[in-house]
Amino acid sequence: MPTRTARTAWNGTLQEGSGQVELSSSKVGTYEVSFPKRAADEADGTTSPEELIAAAHSACYAMALSAEIGKAGGTPQALEVSADVTLGQKDGAPTITGITLTVRGEVEGLDAAGFDEAAQAAKVGCPVSKALAGVDITLDASLD
């Protein structure tokens, strides 16, 4: 399996500095980051480590769920997955305090209970979920 790479160039202090995150492997983009905007309610044109984790987690979970649905005998028609990654404080330091995965699916061949079972298995088996095992991950899954 390949290794994927991202790179960040940072200039300045934490509070006054800023940086650019480059998705180096795919070359699909370079994105602005700054700590004040990371900690603000509005992102205002910048991304953050939490948003990048949310993107990685939602994509990985969608793939894992598609596989689990297939294993259970169903066929995914459409999966809409979002990940909300919360930055909070723990012991006075910024900490990722929780992740909520939300999925709505159109699936042939599985009832609600079968979909929920597949959704729970995907949450456990998703490689990004495994990497983030130290964070409380909740799941809200239902069929459309």
- Report the side by side order of strands in the sheet with 93-108: 75-90, 93-108, 137-143
130 and 67 both lie in a single domain: yes
In this structure, what token pair is assigned to residue 125? 């088996």
CATH number of the domain within which 66 lies: 3.30.300.20
Torsional sign, CA 30, 36, 42, 48: positive
Q: Is residue 1 part of a domain?
A: no
In this structure, what token pair is assigned to residue 119? 């959704």
Give the 3-state secondary structure of residue 59: helix
In this structure, what token pair is assigned to residue 144? 């459309």
pLDDT in tens, 97-120: 999 999 999 999 999 999 999 999
Q: Is residue 117 part of a domain?
A: yes
68 and 115 both lie in a single domain: yes
Q: How confident is the model at residue 1 (pLDDT cuts 50, 70, 90)?
A: confident
31 and 58 both lie in a single domain: no
Q: What are the φ and ψ backbone dihedral angles of 142, each rounded to 5 degrees?
A: -160, 160
Counted domains in the chain: 2
Which domain, by its residues, includes 108? 49-143
Query: In the predicted model, what is the mean pLDDT of the chain?
Result: 96
